[in-house]
Structure formats: C-alpha cells, structure tokens
Structure 1
Amino acid sequence: MGAITYEMEVTSSIPPAKMFKAFVLDVDNLIPKVLPQAIKCVEIIEGDGGPGTIKKINFGEGSQFNYVKHWIDSLDKENFTYCYTIIEGDALMDNLESIYYEVKLVASPDGGSICKNISKYHTKGDIQITEDQIKAGKEKAMGMFKAIEAYLLANPDAY
C-alpha cells in the first residue's frame, strides 16, 4: 500500500471558533441545507459524534458517488482540530484503501481564519492516483468550505 500526502490552506473572513462550529461540529445538519445537490444527509452509524464515531454521508443527486463512511479519529474543540478517515464507499473508487484528513483552523491576522488541511490517500497495492484525482477532491472540499463561509456571511447571527 502506498500513501500520497497533500496539503492545502484556505482562508476565510470568519473567525476560527465560529467556522469550526459550522464546518466541523454542525456540518452534518448544515451541509445538506447549504449544498443539497452534493450531500443529501448524514447518519451516525455508531458513536456519539466524538472519536470512534462512524458516519455515513449520503451524496445528493448532483454527485457521481452514492456514499462514504467516515471514522472520526480525533476532535479537539479547544484547538479547532478534527481528524477523520474515509473507510468505505464508492468515492474510494477501487484504488484506495482509505483517505485520512487532518483539519485545523487557526486565527489569521485579519481576524478571520486559515483552514489547514492535510490529506493522506492510502492506495491499494501499487496503484497510483493522479494529480487530477487529488485536484478534484481538493476542489470539492474547498467548495464545501466556501459554501459554509457564504452561509455564515449571509447569516451573521448563525452560530
């Protein structure tokens, strides 16, 4: 099994605590409202929402995939970090064992936040994944982040 690591940073004018609450803690409720074509619903299969929880994300009509299952590795509300692993689903295609994500929100000098994301793609056998496949995943993640940011800007009293 091989592993490919990819790092990405996205800036936001929303402070880290507010963005973390929306983007991590309440994302299961918020994203189906904000992007229903992307995510239809999220179900907790096992656990209480903290580490060890397994969630099933059902994609919307606009997605090429049906679902994925996430395992929550860690959740640190004080330091705004969240780690999870995609462990099952057709989004892994037939060439990935799992994808590990580490998300950290930090304050930016302008009062907003910087979302730092590390993704580790664990491939099956000696299968290689392309830069285009990684780029497509990066663009979807950035689109979700920016959609939540837009929602928070349009609804300043939310969260």
Structure 2
Amino acid sequence: MVAGSTTVEIVSAVEAKRLWYAVTKNAKSLFLKVAPELFSSITTLSGNGGVGSINRVDFSPERVDKRDEDKMVYAMNQLEGGMVGKACSSVKCELKFRAKTGGRCVITWTCYYDTLPSVIPDQIKVEEAKTSIIALFKKVDGDK
C-alpha cells in the first residue's frame, strides 16, 4: 500500500464566499445544472449536510468530514465507488476557498489516497482526476 496525494489550484471568477456557499450548501443545484454529463444525482442519505452527513453523488456515497465556514474548508471521504475498492483503499478530498483581489478566488483541491496493496501508484488516475476538477470549476465559471 502506498499513501499519496495530489493538489491543484484553480482560479475562479466567482467570489470566494459565494462559491463556498454554492459548493458546500447548494451542490445539488449547482453541479446538476453546470455539469449534467458528470452528475446524474446528488442525494443526502443522512444528516443535515454538516460534518458526519452522508451524501450519495451518483452511485458513490461520501461522508462530510469537515465544513469550516470561517476558513472556507470542506473535506469529504469517499466511502465506496469510483477508485475505492478498485485501486485505492481510501480516497479523501479537501477543498479550500481563498479570496483573491478583484472579487475572484482560488480553490485548492487536494486528494489524499491509499492504494490497495497490489496497485502501483501510477495506475491511479491522478492526472485524470485533476483535469476533471479543473474542468468542473471552469464550468462553474461559465467557461466551456
């Protein structure tokens, strides 16, 4: 088993607090609207959306591990689906939103993963995940 992580920073034209709210409190409306090809359903299985809540994004349940409104940090743990069980024993992602001049913001997305014992780290689709998150936030900005 190998522990690894990857990080990408994305500059958004959307103000930090506004984007924080949209992603952490209104993800269902936001992501289903801007990226229907990526998301077919987002459902809260338990909780009120705060820490400990379980959300199902398409067919993969995720647990909210952190939601710090003051620091604008949101972390989730993918419980199953995606790479969990195929190449990784665990996948955790963290989003940090930081205000930038001119009403824009910087989103820092970090993904932490532990590979399954038989998986070589380069078999993890790290670059594909980074490309996907960048594309998602470009869609949020209205870029094609």
TM-score (norm 2): 0.90
Gapped regions of structure 2 (runs ≥ 5): none
Shift of 1:26: 0.8
Aligned match of 2:77 in 60, 82, 85?
85
Gapped regions of structure 1 (runs ≥ 5): 59-66, 152-159
The 8 Å contact of residues 88 and 116 in structure 2, kept in 1 or not, is answered as: yes
The 8 Å contact of residues 4 and 121 in structure 1, kept in 2 or not, is answered as: yes
Shift of 1:126: 4.7
1:147 equivalent to 2:129? Answer: no
Q: Distance in 1 between matches of 2:142 and 2:23?
A: 12
Q: After superposition, give the CA deviation of every residue in 1:37-95 in whole Å (9 maximum; x if it has no partner).
A: 1101111111111000111111xxxxxxxx21111001012221101111101443511
Q: After superposition, give the CA deviation of every residue in 1:128-148 in whole Å (9 maximum; x if it has no partner).
A: 232771010111111111111
Q: After superposition, give the CA deviation of every residue in 1:97-144 in whole Å (9 maximum; x if it has no partner).
A: 121111110011333100012110111125223277101011111111
Q: Give the direction of change, closer, same or farther, for the CA distance of 1:85–1:132 in structure 2 (3 Å limit).
A: closer
Find the counterpart in structure 2 of residue 75 from structure 1: 67
Q: Distance in 2 between matches of 1:131 and 1:123?
A: 9
Q: How does 1:126-137 map to 2 (within 5 A)?
A: 126-130=118-122, 133-137=125-129
The 8 Å contact of residues 68 and 91 in structure 1, kept in 2 or not, is answered as: no
Question: What is the aligned-residue identity percentage?
Answer: 20
Q: Distance in 2 between matches of 1:123 and 1:50?
A: 28
Q: Distance in 2 between matches of 1:11 and 1:104?
A: 12
- Structure 1 runs (4+) deviating above 4 angstroms are none
User: What is the one-letter code of the residue matched to 2:128?
Assistant: A
Q: How many residue pairs are counted as aligned between the two chains?
A: 143
The 8 Å contact of residues 10 and 116 in structure 1, kept in 2 or not, is answered as: yes
The 8 Å contact of residues 87 and 123 in structure 2, kept in 1 or not, is answered as: no
Q: Distance in 2 between matches of 1:110 and 1:41?
A: 34
TM-score (norm 1): 0.82
The 8 Å contact of residues 83 and 103 in structure 1, kept in 2 or not, is answered as: yes
Q: Distance in 1 between matches of 2:53 and 2:85?
A: 23
The 8 Å contact of residues 99 and 122 in structure 1, kept in 2 or not, is answered as: yes
